[in-house]
Structure formats: structure tokens, C-alpha cells
Amino acid sequence: MRFRLLTVPAAALGAAAALLSPTASQAVGPPAAVRGCDPLAPAECLLPFPNDWFTRADPSTPTGRRVAFTPATLPRNAAGVPADPTAWNRSDGFSPGSALIVQVPGLDLTATGAAPLTDIGRSLAADAPIVLTDAATGERWPYWAEPDSNATRPDRRALLIHPARNFREGHRYLVALRSLKDSDGRTLTAPEAFATAAGHRLPRTHPLYERQRELTPVLGALKHSGVGSKSLYLAWDFTVASDRGLTGDLFSLRDDAFRRLGSAAPEFKVTEVKDFTAAQDPRIAREVSGQVTVPSYLSLPGGLPGSTLLRGRDGRPRSLPGNTQLAFFRCEIPRSAFTSPSRPSLYGHGLLGSRNEVGAGNVKAMAAEHNFTFCATDWIGMAQEDIPVVLGALADLSRFPTVPERSEQGMLNALFLGRDLIHPHGLTADAAFRTPEGRPLLDTAHGLSYDGNSQGGILGGALVAASKDIRRGVLGVTGMNYGLLLNRSADFAPFQQVLDGAYPDKLRQQVVLQLFQMVWDRGETNGYAAQLTDRHQVLMHIAYGDHQVANAAAEAEARTIGARIVSPALTPGRSPDRTPYWGIRPVTTSQLPYQGSALVVWDSGTPSPPVTNTPPTEPAYGHDPHSDPRNSSAARQQKATFLTTGQVIDVCGTLPCTAAPTP
């Protein structure tokens, strides 16, 4: 089963287009009179990004900072609609996975010697032209740099600097660009404003006085770490959001909901039971559908698409008395459960899909082969019914918080379904989850598992991190940080039409993607990665050359969570990287079984993915292997063993793992 959303309904595209003025034009560059833009990089108001110039001191936050965007500093869409900064200004810093964005006229990264995706280790060289440094520890941070390959004008081409592993939560970072070269090898001259601010002390009346006052400590700290100002092209600093700032909304509503629930099982209702003969379905004996009642923390009745979190005066999510919503679920019970109780597991569906994906052939095969009952609920916020809202959010920055905030409610819905799966008075107490003789079909004694694919892997890490019931999770064909993924995904093509219509300037579009990520962190793994493996274990399965979820995003996730890569991962020479899987500690097949979080690469023979921020597209990149790992019986064996024991076993005979292409 493929999880790519190949088409977007015409009506939904039309609704998104209606948000834009058909004759509106988008001005290039910031208006000269806009107050608050960083004068050091005049190409676009929010550049360089992320940037503490756009924060203010706030002693009430863990970082001591608070984002302070204004409607004037945020990008307007093509219709000229100003964006509401409220959702962003709740943050006490920027995304831990944010790309750094700057525009450098005439830059040639190859001549400059900047570290590309294929040689991340070069980013830590003593003479690296781009330096990222933790201001507190002095630690140099790994990255790769690339030009925006989607740019249509050289003078509006972004330089993108991606952290190879997420920045540390709550930490401040220093950025230095030095000795940058053009294609002829000539050193680029620093922007006039930066050269002035970095030079002699300015009088209070000078227009750059305030900027110099903030820049001076940055330059001093860089000099202390060995980066002098003589060769600098540009320098700035930024603060990463704290753990509380990233996870506070979800954990707050989770804790409130489960406090209200106490020791009881969530209220549920079975609405349909389908029993199948072996001839009808040799793997699944019973399909059960129903609904779980969940406290709603959303602003619209029943948590309808387009909702955002309802907040109290303290800014925290709150649920009004009696405000609930129904989480509809579907469970697949294997035939083996009628002989021996099956292990309960939540299943996370793919891109803008539904709970019905739990009935896919590979999920049924996993259930039947290894005696799991998989149950799924729609991941609201990123479910099929949310497609029009997602399109509208891409067209208007102010609407975007509806996506991650409703996704957080979707996670709570899944957590309540999970509690019902293992509670003695939950689903197992209902006749639908018992044999005709009354024996339970669920083994509730061994806890709860999670298995998700594609979007279910991208959002699933946040769910696992938030759950107090899930012990182990499998994140299939996964990655994190949609701000990194979208440019690199073949799935995004229909949505790109909307984004191009709303924000046609490609430099501004890159800023918009990272602004999306700042609030998306609260509803996907990127904001939870630093603590994902504190109390949980995860097994990451990726498809080499995946057309839909970029391998680069999975590798950044593995580095961040400390997952080890099962080695050999690929046959020698298969990867274009100078050091394949740089920065990810290997665990060799001779060391298996391994008890811990791990990454396993499944190779179907697809060509290596692009090293640019563009998607692999057929036919040049051949078969899309996105669905291949989950359709491999060996991969399912490895997943099942991990979910039941926590051990990563060798299922590939000491060789790199391969998966047959799925028709």
C-alpha cells in the first residue's frame, strides 16, 4: 500500500486559492520603513534566521528569552495578508532543528569549501568557512550547507545551513560565516552594515548603534573560540527553545486529561464487529470499530478541523467542563489471538490518511505472523478530513497553528485509545475483544506498543515520547523536521502549488517553511527528540533512496536521539557520502542482539537520493522504496522481536538488509 497523496481535490485547491487575491503581487525584499528587521542582512526582513534580534528578554521563561515577532516582521502572503505572531511569540526560542537561512550574493559553496551533505565531518574542520558554536560549552556543531536548488533568481537564492543533529534545547548558538568565495575564488566583501557594526564603536545616534550593542558580545565570544573578526562575512546568535517551551502544550493537556481520568478506563463504545471466516481473511479473524470519548482541548465544538488549542489566561491548554470529542478507532484482531492473547499495539497512519490504513496488507501480515492486535484512530490535524485546512494553512501563515495544535489533540486521542487497550476495564472487558468462551483476546500484562509508517513515523516519535503506557515503538520510513522534509519529498508537489501561489518568492518561502517548523515542533517528533529515548526505545526502519521521506531527515533524527545504526548498513560504494552515516554510532551484526534504540537501512536497489534540497522523481530515481521495508517478512520479524523484547536482532544474515521492491 502506497501512502503518497498523489492528488489534491480540486475543490480544496480552489478553496486555498480563494484566500489569495488573483491580481496581488508580492514585493521582493522588506519595505524600507519596516521597523524591526535586522539591518545586517537587508535581503529579507527575518534574515539571518533564526536570530536573537527577533527575541526579547523574559525572565519568566527557561531560556530567559521570548520570540518577539510583529505583523510587520513576519512575511505577508501574495494577497498582502499580515500574519498574526501570537503562536510564535509563545516560544522561548527557535526550533532545535531549524535550518539557518541567509542570502549571500555571489556565493559559491564549492569554491568556499563549505561542508556538503556528503561530507558533514568537514563542518568541524578548524578552518571551516561556516562555524556553529554552542555559546555555553564552546562545542562546535555539525551541519551541512547547501544553496536552495529551488530558487528561480540568483539574487533571491537562500544559503541553507542544516544542523546534522538537533541543537540542544535551551542553548544559545553563535554563527560565523568567514572567507566566503565566489566562483572565481575571490573572497566576498562583508555587507556594509555588518562591517560597520563589527568595526569601531558607534555613537548612540548612529542607526546601527543598537545592532552593534547586541553584536559585540557575539564577536567577543567567537574570538574567544578561535574565530577572529578579520575574515568575517557575517555573524549572529540565536537561542533554541527550551524543553518546556517545545513540549509544554502537549504534556500539559496530557497530564490534565489523565489526572481527570484517574485510575478508570476511558469511556468507549464498540459500534461494529465483523467476524471473518478463514476463507474471507486467512489472517484477521475479527475487525472491531468504535469510539473513545476524550476531553477536548480545542476551540471548536467537537474539535472540528480548523480548531486551535483553547487556552486559559496562563496560556496553557484547557478543556471546558463537558467539552469532549470522539476518537473513532478500528482494530484488527488476528486469528492467532483466539489461541493465545495478542499483544496490543497502536498503529499510526500515513500522510493525511485515516485509521482505515490499519487494514493494509502489511499491517495484517504483521498482526497474523506475530500475534499483534493493531488499533488506530485518525491522527486529527494531519488526517484526511484536514486536507482543506492544511491547504489553507500553507496559503496563510496565521492559519498554520491549526495543523500542529489539532495534531496534539490527535495524540491525546491516541493515548486514550492506548490506555483502553491495556486497562483491565477497557476494551478487553468488552465481548468484542473476547472469544465466544469469554477468554480475552488482548494480552494486557506486557504493556503497549506503537508501530507507525511515514507520517505515522514522523509524528509517532512525539506520541511515544508523550506516552506513559508505550514501552517501545517502531518508526517506519521515518524522519523528522517537516521544514527539512518538504522540499525533499515527492509527496509535496501538489501542496507546493499552494505555497508557490501564496509565497512565490523562493527566498521568502524558505523563511516561511522554518516559521512553520517553529510551531510544528509542538506536534511532531522534532520537538520531542531530545527526550524520546530517555524512557523509551525506538527502532527506526528507513528505505534507502526513499522518495517520500528523505534519508537525510532520518539520519538527523538518529544522531539526535542516540540511535545506533546496524552495520553493515549498505554495500561498499553504495552511498555517495565520504563517510556514510557520519556521526551515528554503529552496532555490528556480530554485536546483535542489541538492547537499545537503533536504525536499520533497507535497500531495494533504488538510486541514491539527491544531495540537493529537491525530491527524487521518477523515472530518473527509479522505484520508490517507501513501502518496501514494511512489506518484508524479515523486517516484520525484526520489528516484532523489538516490540516484544526490546532487542534488535539480525534478520539479514550479517549482510546489509535488502527488501524486494513492492509492486
Nearest one of 325, 44, 55 to 157, comparing CA atoms = 44
Q: ω into residue 50 within 30 of 0, thus cis?
A: yes
| Global confidence as pTM | 0.95
**Per-residue confidence (pLDDT) for residue 27, from 0 to 100:** 44
Q: What gap in Å lies between CA 661 and CA 49, rounded to an integer?
A: 41
Residue 440 and residue 432: Cα distance in Å, rounded?
Answer: 9
3-state secondary structure of 66: strand
DSSP one-letter string for 373-409: EEEEE--TTSBGGGHHHHHHHHH-GGGTTHHHHHHHH
Tell me, what's the pLDDT at 618?
Answer: 73
Q: What backbone phi and psi angles, to 5 degrees, belong to 331? A: -120, 145
- pLDDT under 50: residue ranges of the chain: 1-8, 10-13, 15-35
Burial class of residue 174, CB neighbours in 10 A (0-12, 13-18, 19+) = buried
* pLDDT at residue 485 in the model: 98
3-state secondary structure of 44: coil
The reported pLDDT for the residue numbered 237 is 98
* pLDDT score of 2: 41
Which candidate, 98, 457, 93, 380, places its Cα nearest to that of 248?
93
- 622: region left, alpha or beta (phi > 0 left; psi from -120 to 50 alpha): left
**Do 471 and 599 meet the contact criterion of CB atoms below 8 Å apart?**
no
Q: Where are the domains of the chain?
A: 10-19+33-95+97-240
CATH number of 10-19+33-95+97-240: 2.60.40.1220
pLDDT of 14: 52
Q: For the chain, report the end-to-end CA distance as a whole number of angstroms.
A: 9
